[in-house]
A and B are shown apart, each in its own frame.
Chain A
Amino acid sequence: MNWLRRSSSEPLWKEEFSVRTADERYVTRRQLTKFLVLTSFGMFVGNLWILLRSLFYKTPTFPRQTVARLGEIPVGGVKLFTFPTQDDHCILIRISENEHVGYSQKCTHLSCAVYYSQESNRLECPCHKGFFSIADGSVLQGPPPRPLPRIVLEKRGDELVAVDIKVS
């Protein structure tokens, strides 16, 4: 059973924990520094990714889609539709006799659905009280960082057609 005996004269704890406390502090700090620098590299790569996306950005084209007939909704009335895909919910509002506006219904803060408040004449997000202007979709109040994407509408005969999305 000699092979079971330890050949070293050092105590067992010194063999198993061979790093002194002071040295361990050094190692830990160096590892943390390395981790911080790697994270910094990750941030740089993220910025490069945004730069590449910006350089090779292609303006998307959207299929034209009829969203409503002209007299379909009353003044101050609202119609919900999807554009350009079935997953992109939008809101159409008739703000005067001859004027309609359309916006993406997805709040730019955390993607809650915005609704039209006729009393205050603005678009409101119920989740965190983000308010958007009915005129141009700009943020009036609250945490949303960007205006609502605007749906460009065209009148064709007695129909309203969605043709584009403007992100400002």
Chain B
Amino acid sequence: MAGNPDLPPKTRGLTAIAGAMSLIAVLLIVQIWLLSAALESFLAGKRSSALPAAIFSGVMFLICFGLYLFVDRADSDVRNSASEQ
């Protein structure tokens, strides 16, 4: 895991996790907006925007899932390095 080598592993791990969580939160806000916009468009009788909205939402979910896996792995790495010390 790249980062400032002066910091202890747990601090670096927490920083990485916080960064990933922030990214997930931003993506989630965009997804909420996308869902409300797609619903609004659907209720207004415009059904052409449903497909691109679903595709983008799916891509954002996959990114969120990837970030979750990263957080999981980063957490395991930090725990292992902490237990080795």
CA distance A39 to B53 in the complex (A): 16
Judging by beta carbons under 8 Å apart, are A29 and B42 in contact? no
Q: Assess whether A47 is interfacial by the CB under 8 Å rule.
A: yes
Q: Assess whether A40 is interfacial by the CB under 8 Å rule.
A: yes
Q: Assess whether A48 is interfacial by the CB under 8 Å rule.
A: yes
Judging by beta carbons under 8 Å apart, are A36 and B10 in contact? no
Q: Which residues of the other chain, A, contact B54 by a CB distance below 8 angstroms? A: 44, 47-48, 50-51
Contact pick for A33, options B21, B50, B78, CB 8 Å: B21
CA distance A46 to B68 in the complex (A): 21
Looking at chain A's contact residues, the main secondary structure is helix
Judging by beta carbons under 8 Å apart, are B51 and A51 in contact? yes
CA distance A46 to B33 in the complex (A): 12
Judging by beta carbons under 8 Å apart, are A40 and B28 in contact? yes
Q: Assess whether A128 is interfacial by the CB under 8 Å rule.
A: no
Q: Which residues of the other chain, A, contact B61 by a CB distance below 8 angstroms? A: 37, 40-41, 43-44
Interface magnitude class on chain B: 35 or more
Answer whether A25 and B27 are a contact pair too, CB < 8 Å, given A30-B75, A47-B34, A51-B54. Answer: no
Q: Which residues of the other chain, A, contact B79 by a CB distance below 8 angstroms? A: 26
How many residues of chain A are within 8 Å of chain B by beta carbon? Answer: 29
Q: Which residues of the other chain, B, contact A48 by a CB distance below 8 angstroms? A: 54, 57-58
CA distance A148 to B67 in the complex (A): 43
Answer whether A36 and B21 are a contact pair too, CB < 8 Å, given A41-B61, A47-B53, A48-B54. Answer: yes
- Most B CB contacts (10 A, CB to CB) among A22, A43, A145, A147 go to A43
| Chain A nearest Cβ from B41, distance in angstroms | 9
Q: Which residue of B lies closest to A25 (CB)?
A: B14
Enumerate chain A interface residues (CB-CB to B < 8 A).
22, 25-26, 29-30, 32-34, 36-37, 39-41, 43-44, 46-48, 50-51, 53-55, 57, 145-147, 167-168
Enumerate chain B interface residues (CB-CB to A < 8 A).
10, 13-14, 17-18, 20-21, 24-25, 27-28, 31-32, 34-35, 38-40, 42-45, 47, 50-51, 53-54, 57-58, 60-61, 64-65, 67-68, 71-72, 75, 78-79
* 9 shortest interchain CB distances as A-B pairs: A43-B31, A54-B47, A54-B50, A47-B57, A167-B45, A44-B61, A40-B64, A51-B54, A47-B54
Instruction: List 14 contacting pairs A-B, 8 Å CB cutoff, sorted by A.
Output: A26-B13, A29-B14, A30-B75, A34-B68, A36-B28, A39-B28, A43-B28, A43-B34, A43-B57, A47-B58, A51-B53, A53-B42, A146-B40, A168-B44
